[in-house]
Amino acid sequence: MLLRVVLFGGMFLLWGATNSVYRAWRSDRSTELLQPDVSCSQVAYVVQIFSVYWFTVALKSGPQWWSEGSAVFYALSIGCLVMPMGMLLLDLPEGILKAATWGSPV
């Protein structure tokens, strides 16, 4: 879902117009200094990506995430999402996983 939303927002950006590999490879490129163009669509795109991370932090800052200290344990217990390194971390003692929960900001 996030990829679809980001690509939809990218429709409104000028991906190959300035400061891109596409522009560097074009044979008719001019030698003038490229001025960075800031448009409303670029600002909205950055705000959209920033808001994903901001609201994730806001949702995970409640007491239910921090009181028990078990968030890292539960995150690593999701079998279909965890990688081999995560399986190794899941075998660590419970005290280390609680410290990891309380030590990570998100």
In tens digits, the chain (106 residues) has pLDDT values of 888 888 887 777 777 666 566 666 666 655 555 555 677 878 888 898 898 888 887 877 777 677 778 888 888 888 887 888 888 888 889 899 888 888 876 5
Quote the domain boundaries for residue 71.
62-106
The pair of structure tokens assigned to 40 is: 């409303």
Helix-, strand-, coil-residue percentages of the chain, each rounded to 5: 60, 0, 40
User: Do 51 and 80 share a domain, yes or no?
Assistant: no
Q: Would 102 be classed as within a structural domain?
A: yes
Give CA angle at 85 (80, 86), nearest 5°.
50
- Name all contacts of 88-93 with Cβ < 8 Å and 24+ positions apart: none
Question: Which residue in the block uniquely carries the two structure tokens 């609201």?
Answer: 55
Number of domains in the chain: 2
Check whether residue 66 and residue 15 sit in a common domain: no
Domain co-membership, 21 together with 71? no
Q: Is residue 31 included in any domain, yes or no?
A: no
> Do residues 52 and 68 both lie within one domain?
no
Residues 78 and 101 in one domain: yes
Other Cβ atoms within 10 Å of 5 Cβ, number: 12
